[in-house]
Structure 1
Amino acid sequence: MIKSLLANLYGETFSPAHQERLFANIEKAKSAINAPRKRNWDQQDVVLITYADQFRQQGRKSLPVFTQFYNQWLKNSFSHVHLLPFYPWSSDDGFSVMDYHQVAPDTGDWQDVADLKKSSRLMFDFVCNHMSAKSDWFARYLRQDAGYENFFLAVDPTTDLSAVTRPRALPLLTPFTLEDGTTRHLWTTFSDDQIDLNFAEPEVLLAMVEVLLHYLQEGADYVRLDAVGFMWKVPGTSCIHLPQTHALIKLFRAITEEVAPGTVIITETNVPHKDNIAYFGDGTDEAQMVYQFSLPPLVLHAMHTTKVETLCRWAQGLTLPSSQTTWFNFLASHDGIGLNPLRGILPEDEILTLVEKLQQQGALVNWKNNPDGTRSPYEINVTYMDALSPKESSDDDRLARFVLTHALLLSFPGVPALYIQSILGSRNDYAGVETAGYNRAINRQKYDLAEIESEMAIGGGLRARVYHQLCHLLALRRELSAFHPDAKAEFSTLNEHVLQIKRENGKLTALFNFSERPQTIIHECKNARELINGVDINTSNLTLEPWQVMWIQNT
Structure 2
Amino acid sequence: MKKLENKCMLITYADCMGDNLKDLKCALDRHFREAIGGIHVLPFFPSSGDRGFAPMDYHVVDSAFGGWDEIEALSKEYYLMADYMINHISAHSAYYQDFLAKKDASNYHDLFIRYKDFWENGEPTDEQIDQIYKRKPRAPYVDAQFADGTTEKVWCTFDEEQIDINVNSKTARDFITDNLRTLCGHGIALVRLDAFAYATKKAGTSCFFIEPDVWDLMHFCEDVVKDYGVTLLPEIHEHYTMQQKIEQAGYYVYDFALPMLLINALYYGQSRYLKHWLTICPRKQFTTLDTHDGIGVVDVKDLLPDDEIARTKEDIFQKGANVKKVYNTKAYNNLDIYQVNCTYYSALGDDDDAYLLARAVQFFAPGIPQVYYVGMLAGKNDLKLLEETKVGRNINRHYYSLEEIDEEVKRPVVQKLLDLMKFRNTHPAFDGEFILEESNDEELVILRKNGDDFARLHANFKTKEFSITHS
Q: Do the two structures share a fold, i.e. TM-score over 0.5? A: yes
* DSSP 3-state at the match of 1:190: coil
Q: Quick one: distance in 2 between partners of 1:367 and 1:317?
A: 34
CA RMSD of aligned residues (A): 2.1
Give 2:89's aligned amino acid: M
Q: Say whether the 8 Å CA contact 1:309–1:493 is kept in structure 2.
A: no
Q: CA deviation at 1:339?
A: 1.0
Q: Quick one: distance in 1 between partners of 2:424 and 2:390?
A: 39
1:553 matched residue in structure 2:
470
Matches of residues 178-197 of structure 1 in structure 2 within 5 Å? 178-197=146-165
Q: CA deviation at 1:290?
A: 0.6
Give 2:466's aligned amino acid: V
Mean Cα displacement is larger for which, 119-128 or 82-91? 119-128
Is 2:31 the partner of 1:73? yes
* Amino-acid identity (%): 28
Equivalent of 1:469 in 416, 419, 427: 416
Q: Quick one: distance in 1 between partners of 2:379 and 2:84?
A: 27
1:5 matched residue in structure 2:
none
Give 1:417's aligned amino acid: Q
Q: Quick one: distance in 2 between partners of 1:107 and 1:268?
A: 24
Which structure 2 segments of 5+ residues have no match? 116-121
1:31 matched residue in structure 2:
none
1:226 matched residue in structure 2:
194
Equivalent of 1:149 in 109, 119, 130: 109
Q: Say whether the 8 Å CA contact 1:266–1:290 is kept in structure 2.
A: yes
Q: Say whether the 8 Å CA contact 1:367–1:377 is kept in structure 2.
A: no
Q: Quick one: distance in 2 between partners of 1:235 and 1:293?
A: 29
Is 2:451 the partner of 1:451? no
Give 2:339's aligned amino acid: E
Give the TM-score of the pair, scaled to structure 2.
0.90
Q: Quick one: distance in 2 between partners of 1:185 and 1:77?
A: 49
Moved over 4 A (4+): 168-171, 363-368
Q: CA deviation at 1:86?
A: 0.3
2:237 matched residue in structure 1:
270
The C-alpha deviation readout for 1:278-320, integer Å capped at 9, x for no partner, is 223522xxx2x11111111111111112100010012112355
Q: Say whether the 8 Å CA contact 1:49–1:418 is kept in structure 2.
A: yes
The C-alpha deviation readout for 1:323-379, integer Å capped at 9, x for no partner, is xxx1101110101111111112122222121111112331556589xxxxxx99310
Q: Say whether the 8 Å CA contact 2:288–2:370 is kept in structure 1.
A: yes
Q: Say whether the 8 Å CA contact 2:243–2:282 is kept in structure 1.
A: no
Q: Quick one: distance in 2 between partners of 1:509 and 1:386?
A: 27
The C-alpha deviation readout for 1:139-163, integer Å capped at 9, x for no partner, is 0111124311111112234443210
Q: Quick one: distance in 1 between partners of 2:405 and 2:139?
A: 40
Matches of residues 106-117 of structure 1 in structure 2 within 5 Å? 106-117=64-75
Is 2:393 the partner of 1:440? yes
Q: Say whether the 8 Å CA contact 1:246–1:279 is kept in structure 2.
A: no
Q: Quick one: distance in 2 between partners of 1:507 and 1:113?
A: 36
1:84 matched residue in structure 2:
42
Q: Say whether the 8 Å CA contact 2:5–2:79 is kept in structure 1.
A: no
* DSSP 3-state at the match of 1:208: helix
Matches of residues 288-299 of structure 1 in structure 2 within 5 Å? 289-299=252-262
Q: Say whether the 8 Å CA contact 1:153–1:197 is kept in structure 2.
A: yes
1:480 matched residue in structure 2:
427
Q: Quick one: distance in 1 between partners of 2:77 and 2:137?
A: 41
Give 1:507's aligned amino acid: F
2:272 matched residue in structure 1:
309
Q: CA deviation at 1:437?
A: 2.6
Which structure 1 segments of 5+ residues have no match? 1-34, 321-325, 369-374, 390-394, 516-545
Matches of residues 124-523 of structure 1 in structure 2 within 5 Å? 124-143=82-101, 144=103, 145-155=105-115, 156-159=122-125, 160-168=128-136, 172-243=140-211, 244-257=213-226, 259-261=227-229, 263-283=230-250, 287=251, 289-320=252-283, 326-360=284-318, 361=320, 362-364=323-325, 366=328, 377-389=337-349, 398-453=351-406, 455-456=407-408, 459=410, 464-484=411-431, 487-504=432-449, 507-515=454-462
Q: CA deviation at 1:248?
A: 0.7
